[in-house]
Amino acid sequence: MNGESAVRMQNETGTDHEVKVRFQNVSKHYGDVEVVHDVSFDIREGDFVSLVGPSGCGKTTMMNMLAGFVKPNSGEVLLEGKPVEGPGPDRGVMFQEYGVFPWLTVEKNIRFGLDLAIKRHIPKDERRQITEKYMNLMRLSDFRNAWPKNLSGGMRQRLALARAYAANPHFLLMDEPFGALDAQTRSDMHELLHQILQAERKTALLITHSVDEAIYLSSRVIVISARPSRIVESIDIPFGFPRDKSLLDSREFIDLRIHLREQVMKQYAEQQALR
Ligand SMILES: Nc1ncnc2c1ncn2[C@@H]1O[C@H](COP(=O)(O)OP(=O)(O)OP(=O)(O)O)[C@@H](O)[C@H]1O
């Protein structure tokens, strides 16, 4: 979706800007349990928004509503001004459970999204090059013919990332995509994601339990309350892009980390009290 066709709306402060996604008074319950309560926020073109909050508070449910897997009970999730009706190739989704097909090899998993009818306009050679590019970037070339069941957890997660990136969706929706990775690979993946986002302007929503990851990757971090999900705080991250690892040691980063951790820990304590 290009800039001209993006919907222009007024945000809460009245500033005109390109809103790609709008959660508008969204509530969701499962049976008697309210999971999301009257949540409103916008995601603008090129934003990288992270949701942080306690386990089980309803973050995945919010992402599922944007992905089109779940419908709100009240309110609306608008994508470029229209209510989300279902999943679509404009939204690349990466879930905790990896999202790889066990019946396809590594190479075919990465190619999968590119071979769908919607991408058939891309010449075959180019599709092959894109597959190679992401297989290399994720260090999976030596395993091109391997089955997912024979990969380590971290490799499967890299495969899921390669598959999602290769399909080149406009929106990246990521639910704990780096959770199963060791610290070094996780850090490599952060750099790679930065590179991809710099090179191909995308809009992203990330769910993470790591405050550092949220700050380092995002343009905005939203703290979500104990269930039912409400917005506790939305912080514009004051660091420009590109970023590098030295940022993690800066005074400003450390202050933000301390503040956000405090906010999140309060919500964890409240969520614990619900059990
Ligand atoms: N399909 C469903 N049917 C019934 N309850 C559900 C369903 N999906 C989620 N829930 C419940 O809704 C609550 C919120 O779940 P959700 O997965 O959205 O939380 P979360 O914040 O993403 O958690 P985590 O960080 O652990 O992934 C949980 O109590 C969960 O058990």
C-alpha distance from residue 58 to each of 11, 55, 77 (Å): 24, 8, 15
Q: What is the pLDDT of residues 100-139, one digit of tens each?
A: 889 999 999 999 888 775 666 788 889 899 999 999 988 8
A 10 A CB-CB count for 141 gives 12
Report which protein residue has its CA nearest ligand 1's atom 30. Answer: 56
CB 213 within 8 Å of CB 190 = yes
> CA torsion 37→38→43→48, rounded to 10°?
-20
Reference 99, options 185, 48, 51, 157; nearest CA is: 157
At how many degrees (to 10) do helices 153-166 and 106-115 cross? 20
3-state secondary structure of 19: strand
Report which protein residue has its CA nearest ligand 1's atom 6. Answer: 30
Q: What is the pLDDT of residues 26-67, one digit of tens each?
A: 999 999 999 999 999 999 999 999 999 999 999 999 999 999
Reference 69, options 224, 175, 168, 169; nearest CA is: 175
Assess whether the C-beta atom of 61 lies below 6 angstroms from ligand 1: yes
The alpha carbon of 58 and the centre of ligand 1 are apart by a number of angstroms equal to: 5
The alpha carbon of 78 and the centre of ligand 1 are apart by a number of angstroms equal to: 22
Assess whether the C-beta atom of 51 lies below 6 angstroms from ligand 1: no
User: How much is the pTM?
Assistant: 0.88
User: How far apart, in whole angstroms, are the C-alpha atoms of residue 213 and residue 218?
Assistant: 8
Contact residues for 174 (Cβ-Cβ < 8 A; gap 6+)? 93, 94, 164, 204, 205, 206, 207
Helices marked H in 51-182 — which ranges? 59-67, 106-115, 124-137, 153-166
Q: What is the pLDDT of residues 232-245, one digit of tens each?
A: 999 999 999 989 99
The alpha carbon of 96 and the centre of ligand 1 are apart by a number of angstroms equal to: 13
CATH class entry, domain 47-64+87-274: alpha beta
Assess whether the C-beta atom of 35 lies below 6 angstroms from ligand 1: yes
User: Would you kindly state where each structural domain of the chain is located, as residue ranges?
Assistant: 47-64+87-274
